Structure 1
């Protein structure tokens, strides 16, 4: 995107008034990041090595940071004035709109790697596209988030190859992890009326066209690991409309446990 003075976006390109569609879209992206970050936090003290304990913790912190930024903007756009804490700690599980992929239980380490592989390749593509939008707040966030998630992607790529090319047992587990998460990947690229209106107005990029490069990139990683890209016979959907897996309720309860125990508490 050009940075010359006659073409660079200005402060006027930032949407500050009510925009329910954009608020909904940002809330979905924020929920993806928050829920996945919470899942990764469950590895703390349980990761295979102390290095991975630290790596997954840092990835989770990046994701929570993304959620905070997205929630803050959504609160300004939906007319409610809700804060990042309101979104994270006061909604019921049916009010979360994350993709089902991000809430899947961790499983073994290979299953977590498979989930990370699928999500990070999608997130880098989408945030890179978001970096080209006219809204300066969104473009700036997209550029920063894409750089951070690129490191998460590299971590997932390396572990996919390491497990796939390791022992027969590690390869079996990595393939099983891929098979487990792949039916949940298509939802990342779905477009409903909210997204179509935003795309039509040129506000945000369309996720649908990103599926082909996503398939190519993850396919290259999976192939280089000596593994097979799954071809699921079914696909999951429902997370964007608040329909979640049975494991999601306990995850939300864990996320909100301190706030529920000490409502109105400050630290």
Structure 2
């Protein structure tokens, strides 16, 4: 996986060393840029929702580990990863709102849509069974998203390029952290290895969803504004296999190499109970006090 963004990026003059928690005003020109030639605004809106929802929903799962992680340092790390992804979600939803031109900003798209209107992959919304499951999900998500964003750093849509340039740097660290803990757990005690293997066996079938190309991706790819999910598979699997090797974990089960077909992706299918429960909690304050601002 190429973790280094191109040197001639449209954001070369920005300070990218800070966190996503501040400095959003510098992205206003990108968020309000014209839709690139050849890209349907409706498709660009949908694509920004997809990528934004992936980040926002997975953020909620990560911050659920605050006060639950095995070490204070790990809690802080997971919280910071959540902030990184929240920043990506804010920018992508902000871009979606601008492209839609229906008066909905990032907050309206995050807090006032029901679960049936969310377009995240199901992989992002599933609850984490234990810490091993959390680590492996983070490894998969950061690897997959990192490969995706690395291919969007030169996208003609300035907002997608802006998010991607900054995002690949953050996701490289998320992946490094997850790979370290995968090796530590998978090659640790007998108990930690048993639980890590159990978690990975449960995740294996879910990987297939991440490589299902959506019609929106296919149409926008012609304009350079999206990457077909199927095109990510080889690079993602190679990176995952390398990260799993120190823990002596096979990417796919060599005894049963046949992997089930993709389950319904969350992009268009009916939301699962996990997402409904997650959004009920996340949106409770905004819905209890409509129109309130900080």
Alignment counterpart, residue 210 of structure 2, candidates 172, 184, 188: 188
Alignment partner of 1:186: what SS?
helix
- Counterpart position of 1:265: 292
Contact 1:178 1:230 in 2 (8 A): no
What whole-Å deviation, never above 9, does each CA across 1:103-129 have from its counterpart, x for those lacking one? 111110000111111111011111110
- Compare the two structures and name the one with the higher helix fraction: 1
Closer, same or farther: CA 209–92 of 1 in aligned 2, 3 Å: same
- Counterpart position of 2:226: 204
Alignment partner of 2:225: what SS?
coil
- Counterpart position of 2:180: 158
Please give the TM-score of this superposition, normalised by the length of structure 2.
0.83
- Counterpart position of 2:158: 136
- Counterpart position of 2:53: 31
- Counterpart position of 1:15: 34
Contact 2:53 2:89 in 1 (8 A): yes
- Counterpart position of 2:22: none
Aligned equivalents of 1:78, 1:227: Cα separation in 2: 44
Asked whether 1:254 is paired with 2:276, we answer no
- Counterpart position of 1:81: 103
Asked whether 1:168 is paired with 2:195, we answer no
What's the C-alpha RMSD, in Å, of the aligned pairs?
A: 2.2
The Cα of 1:263 is off from its aligned counterpart by 1.9
Contact 1:35 1:103 in 2 (8 A): yes
Alignment partner of 2:202: what SS?
helix
Aligned equivalents of 2:199, 2:285: Cα separation in 1: 32
Structure 1 unaligned runs (5+)?
A: 6-10
Query: How many corresponding residue pairs?
Result: 262
Alignment partner of 1:205: what SS?
coil
The Cα of 1:2 is off from its aligned counterpart by 7.2
Alignment counterpart, residue 240 of structure 1, candidates 267, 275, 290: 267
Contact 1:222 1:229 in 2 (8 A): yes
Q: How does 1:97-136 map to 2 (within 5 A)?
A: 97-136=119-158
